[in-house]
Amino acid sequence: MSEEAARELPADATKATVAIIGSGNIGSDLMIKVIRLSKSLAMGAMVGIDPASDGLARAKRLGIPTTDRGVDGLIAMPGFEQIRVIFDATSAKAHEANAAALAPYGKQLIDLTPAAIGPFVVPVVNLDDHIDAPNVNMVTCGGQATIPIVAAISRVTPVAYAEIVASIASKSAGPGTRANIDEFTETTSRAIEAVGGAAHGKAIIILNPAEPPMIMRDTVFCLIDAADPEIHERITSSVEKMVADVQAYVPGYRLKQKVQITAVPDGQPVGTLTAGVEVTHQVSVFLEIEGAAHYLPAYAGNLDIMTSAALRTAETLAARDLSEAQA
């Protein structure tokens, strides 16, 4: 066992101890967020497989116990039993193995990969529904950015079809993201339906190589059967409220322009998208997500919204545990 792995994990009765598996960009950004922002979480361990990774080196400098032996090294750490929540910021395939290894220990897992072993969770939409799930999935960066908008519309009127386009800077897409492109589109599409409430969902991701790198942009396009102007006003209000709710934990999340609700042009062949369901109007919402630049540049809003959503999820779990302990 390495010297780092042998160190005792920190104990703080007022905070829930967490570990992060994955010492890459997402895991490192999440670690900084836990340290700087959270009043209810304490870093217990940073776990990787590359001894030379910047994430492990930074964790060591910050006095956080580390291991470069992956999930097996984490389980072997003295004080492992103190860890309440484990974030997995690796890859879809790696998470399957990690979840299986951790299953006997009763830890609550927050999955930042597209593995989707557990239920999809978007904090502002359905976290309360899955607060006791042993493994929750943060969908994808595009899902965290756009599903709240689909849900905001579907709360007012049924959404026959929802399509999202997530455009991110190529530089913000690391090896893990690129290796999981197929899982990204499949997972996000399913979550648009399961969490967002759309009858049919589709997701597209664009890696933009522009220089200087662009801030994350997302487009949400929904088809609805609602000709009443009053319903349009309610949709706009619902979307604006949802944006404010997301901004509570992702300050750089914002509408790029006003919500657009227009009549579907005569003769436009939308039946193939809606499986023949009649629709009258299309709703277009344009978003911009600027990262907080805790670890990565501000243009990496795609990573920031994932780590911010995961942090909010863990803090909600910690608050629930504290409430139960005080009851």
Half-sphere exposure of 9 (CA within 13 A, CB side): 27
Asked if residues 143 and 111 have their Cβ atoms less than 8 Å apart, the reply is no
Dist. CA 123–CA 129, nearest whole Å: 10
Whether the ω angle into residue 212 lies within 30 degrees of 0, i.e. cis, is: yes
Using CA atoms, how far apart are residues 100 and 134, in angstroms rounded to an integer? 12
Nearest to 250 by CA among 310, 305, 288: 305
Residues in the chain: 327
Among 85, 74, 130, smallest CA distance to 108 is for 85
Q: Which two tokens stand for residue 269?
A: 């062949």
Catalytic option among 20, 141, 215, 285: 141
Of the CA atoms within 13 Å of residue 188, those in its CB half-sphere come to: 27
Strands (E), 52-158: 66-67, 83-88, 108-111, 135-137
Burial of 84 (0-12, 13-18, 19+ CB in 10 A): buried
Residue 254 CA, chain-centre distance (Å), reads 16
Asked whether 84 and 16 are in contact (CB, 8 A), the reply is: yes
Who's near 161: CB < 8 A, 6+ residues apart?
198, 199, 200, 201, 202, 222, 223, 270, 273, 274, 279
Q: For residue 134, which amino acid is it?
A: P
The verdict on whether 222 is a catalytic residue reads no
Active site residues: 141
